[in-house]
Amino acid sequence: MVAYILLDKPSMESTRITVIGAGPAGIALGVEASRQRISETIILEKAGHLCDTIATLYRKGKRVDAVYRKLTVKARGPLSFETTDRESFLAWMDEVVVEYGLDIRYRHEVMDIQKTGKRFQISCGNGNSFETDIVVVAIGIFGRPTKPSYPIPREVKDRIFFSLPAASPADQEILVVGGGDSAAEAACFLSRQNRVTLTYRRSEFFRINEPNLCTLNQCCTFENLRTRLGVDIAGITAHGEGLIVKYTDGEALGYDAVFYFLGGSTPRSFLERAGVSYSDNTPVVDASGESNIPALFLAGDLVAEKGSIMAAFNSATVVMEKILGVYVGKPDDE
């Protein structure tokens, strides 16, 4: 006789508020829910740690700005900080999670959101699922780095990077592509042990903040870093152990590796599958961050000033104000 073991199917957990993303906006949402004593609030995070963009894309010691692009944002909620470094900011976020008792489910990548009746069903890649009254999507745009329009040959993909690796290369000819703060900081950092070219399609930088521009200019006084402005890349081909970058001005130069820092893009396909409407490549939300799907909100970089952590914090406060006024009402123990 064959004995069959019946395995339990993953259960569907019921929650009141489900936040997707444990970045600054997601954590701020959890804090707001905790302060209002809204139980059964969870945060789903695909990575194994919080603030994935800062933890993985920021190099050690990188500055975390409270004032972003000269935009000073006054705190509307309980979370506020002064400009600090990567390690101090992440340590503070860890303290916030403990202080407010946030329920963060790591390694829970949300694959699908569907509304059935008045509730949402959320499916995760690990097989877990949740049924919830309110969904707040707080995914940062840098979760999926923007890639170039031209194809990257399979033969050179091990020499193409979209963030700094854990072990920095040494004694290589490196091309950094981009015109923002991340590109400038990466170029300066890599030039310590490599020969680096920072290329940007425009004739001058205009997205780099003043401190980084000063550092970049200083680094360019040394032989290991130079800029190549006003020219775009037409394509890349393999060449031995390295690669050849073909520029639109007809020049072709060899490099050992190429680092792209082109920014990020909103997870449009994911949101549209959930039913969120778009207009001019921007998700349609009201002043509170609520989408065209009732009780489905967007927060953080998806709706706020992109890159501003303070604006992300504030977006969570705005979302909670409407949640309290329309969907939740009085806290549990009142």
Residues 116-155: pLDDT tens digits? Answer: 999 999 988 777 899 999 999 999 776 567 889 999 999 9
Distance, in Å, from the CA atom of 294 to the CA atom of 291, rounded to the nearest integer, reads 7
β-pair partners for 279: 282
Same domain flag for 137 and 158: no
Which residues form the domain of 98? 12-144+264-328
Q: Most confidently modeled of 222-226, 286-290, 326-330?
A: 286-290
Q: Domain ends where: 260, 290, 309?
A: 260
Q: Which residues fall within 8 angstroms of residue 165, CB to CB, at 6 or more apart?
A: none
Digit-coded pLDDT (tens) for 25-35: 999 999 999 99
Give the confidence band of 328 by pLDDT, cuts at 50, 70, 90. confident
* Burial degree of 14 (CB within 10 A; 0-12, 13-18, 19+): exposed
Same domain flag for 124 and 21: yes
Same domain flag for 68 and 201: no
Digit-coded pLDDT (tens) for 46-68: 889 999 989 988 889 999 998 87
Domain count of the fold of the chain = 2
Rama region for 317: left / alpha / beta (φ>0; ψ in -120 to 50; rest): alpha
Average pLDDT, the chain: 89
Q: Domain ends where: 260, 289, 320?
A: 260
Whether the per-residue pLDDT at 11 is higher than 70: the answer is no
Distance, in Å, from the CA atom of 58 to the CA atom of 263, rounded to the nearest integer, reads 13
pLDDT at 243: 96
Same domain flag for 229 and 188: yes
Digit-coded pLDDT (tens) for 231-284: 999 999 999 999 999 999 999 999 999 999 997 766 887 898 899 999 988 899
Same domain flag for 52 and 91: yes
Buried b or exposed e, range 251-275, using 16+ CB within 10 angstroms = eeeebbbbbbbbbbebbeebbeebe
pLDDT at 267: 80
Q: Is residue 227 part of a domain?
A: yes
Same domain flag for 268 and 251: no
Digit-coded pLDDT (tens) for 166-200: 677 999 999 999 998 888 888 998 998 999 999 99
User: Whole-model pTM above 0.75?
Assistant: no
CATH number of the CATH domain containing 104: 3.50.50.60
Same domain flag for 177 and 212: yes
Q: Supply the angle between the helices 86-99 and 24-35 in degrees, to the nearest 10.
A: 30
Q: Is residue 2 part of a domain?
A: no
The residue assigned the tokens 């006003």 is 230
Digit-coded pLDDT (tens) for 204-223: 998 787 777 888 998 898 88
Whole-Å CA distances, 78 to 82, 88, 92, 100:
14, 18, 13, 11
Same domain flag for 122 and 17: yes
